Amino acid sequence: MKIRMNSVTYTLVIALFFTLFQNIALWERVNSIFATTPEASWGLKLTLPIVVLAIMNVLFTLLTWPLIHRLIVSVIILISAAATYAMHQYGIVLSYGMIVSVIETDTHEATSYLSMSAFIWYFALAILPLLLLSRVKVEFRHLGKELLLKFASLMVSVLVVACIASVYFKDYASLLRNNSELGSALNPTNYITATARVVNKRWYEANLPYVQIGTDAVNRNQDNPRKNLVVLVIGETARAENSSFNGYEKETNAFLAKQEGVINYPNVTSCGTCTAVSVPCMFSNMTKSSYNASKARRQDSVVDILDHAGVDVLWKNNNSGCKGACDRITYIDGHEQVKVQEKYCQWGTCFDGILLEGLDEHINSLDTDGVIVLHLLGSHGPTYYKRYPEEFKKFTPTCDTADIQNCSREELMNTYDNSLLYTDYLLSQLIDKLKSHDDKFNTAMLYVSDHGESLGEKGVYLHGMPASIAPKHQTHVPMITWMSDKFVTKHQLDEQCMQKVSNEKLSHDNFFHSVLGLMDIETSEYNAELDIFATCLTQGENQ
């Protein structure tokens, strides 16, 4: 038997459902704010749910129309349930950057968030409500009366908000000014407006002319029989505070600690808090303060400039793509290395060791200077336990589930640290490989993570928080360099100077120019002030 409702009642019921249930994460965040601001007025506390209900009523009044209302509401409920789960379980907000990450993720990464609790949550907030709504028959009046009723409903909602604002304007202004993330926590307007921004930007980008930069690039080492070979390793989700090089109590750098010539940079800040922002930013000629994602997508990156200079550039990927940074150079997806898949791949993803396969053969084929970019899957969560082979399960007990919020602090940290240890092992193995090519190349390695990670601090997990409110856990990243003796000699590098520079405050802003400096590239795009090696490097005679 169908339950009959007029459109106004139906809209109000949907609005109430979203206010009470699909905004659980919002109310958790609001309660946390009120707990730390006892001066917040009771008027603000009591009227805020009414304001949210009025906003929801306005939204769904505009979306509820004959023939299409069931489809629109169903889609929004399905998406909103996933959004609510993510915000509630991981403490994230759905900002512009987070939506970009969602759009650009791959199926392997997306499925890593699936778990029993996710299915239960989804059933409770999506499937069950849709089953109940399927029993409702919405009765619409003729067009004139329907429009009049909608207008009246909208006006009531607007007047309610206006009346509350006129009395408590200062309270609301203070709340929103000091907690700007609340707008990104309001479901579903958060992801609807953020998605609209992404679509608008992509349309804008598509109409921008492509700009080549650094076409004047010259490789000053091109006539030298000994070639430069630099491997750039882009880490994923590694945070600096869990590095034993930075004083962390667990030996997460046990393998690199045994290598000579390794320099650690303890004070490095990322450009963004997600791969979709940080990778194109660090490979662009822009600093964090001047970064424009649309511009970065439509111009050359540092690897393009290396290509202009005649350097052989290869990007090997074990992540969800290079976010446009490598679109015009040779690209190999680690998942497509069929011959070694059985050794490295399970659960739909591959261990980062797959990136080292075939590396020697590629290096042996080089007759010019070369740059190899290895883009790791690193410590990408929430399934940290899938990022390392069983033999690297050094720190126990571990959190072998995607429901990391249900693990103990010890289990979660152990699992994350095991993934860092595996990355450390691979970097050490890479250094050994580079040493084996010392007869032909001046070799060097530069490792830096794209962003950090929250591991439950203040109820926040994962990454992707807006830069304005992102905790340091998500922006303080590890960076490490290694250079062969012949590389140091060739560039006349002062190792004591480099050790001193390593303790300075650095960021992804330095990456673009430091890479050009390492490769002896002369171009108008190069800025020596941002090259971390420039003050310690003097171009000597080719050796």
Task: Tell whether the model's pLDDT for residue 97 goes beyond 90.
Answer: no
pLDDT at 37: 86
End-to-end CA distance of the chain: 88
pLDDT at 320: 86
Selected residue with higher pLDDT from 236 and 178: 236
pLDDT at 538: 65
Task: Tell whether the model's pLDDT for residue 2 goes beyond 90.
Answer: no
pLDDT at 347: 77
pLDDT at 339: 65
pLDDT at 542: 41
Residues 315, 267: contact at Cβ < 8 Å?
no
3-state class (DSSP) for residue 352: helix
What the block records as the tokens of 287 is: 């600093």
222-536: in CATH 1.10.150.20: no
> What number is the average pLDDT over the span 316-345?
86
What the block records as the tokens of 421 is: 């240890």
C-alpha span between 74 and 456 (Å, rounded): 32
3-state class (DSSP) for residue 409: helix
Q: Is the pTM of this model over 0.85?
A: yes
C-alpha span between 533 and 506 (Å, rounded): 12
DSSP assignments along 418-485, one per residue = HHHHHHHHHHHHHHHHHHTTTTTEEEEEEEEES---EESGGG-EES---TTT--GGGTEEEEEEEE-H
pLDDT at 221: 93
> What percent of the chain is modeled with pLDDT above 70?
98
C-alpha span between 313 and 492 (Å, rounded): 24
pLDDT at 337: 67
Mean pLDDT of the chain: 93
pLDDT at 52: 98
What are the boundaries of each domain within the chain?
3-203, 222-536
Task: Tell whether the model's pLDDT for residue 523 goes beyond 80.
Answer: yes
3-state class (DSSP) for residue 34: helix
Q: Would residue 358 be called left, alpha or beta, if left means φ above 0 and alpha means ψ between -120 and 50 degrees?
A: left
Residues 40, 34: contact at Cβ < 8 Å?
yes
pLDDT band of 388, cuts 50, 70, 90: very high
3-state class (DSSP) for residue 309: coil
pLDDT at 207: 86
pLDDT band of 540, cuts 50, 70, 90: very low
pLDDT at 501: 96
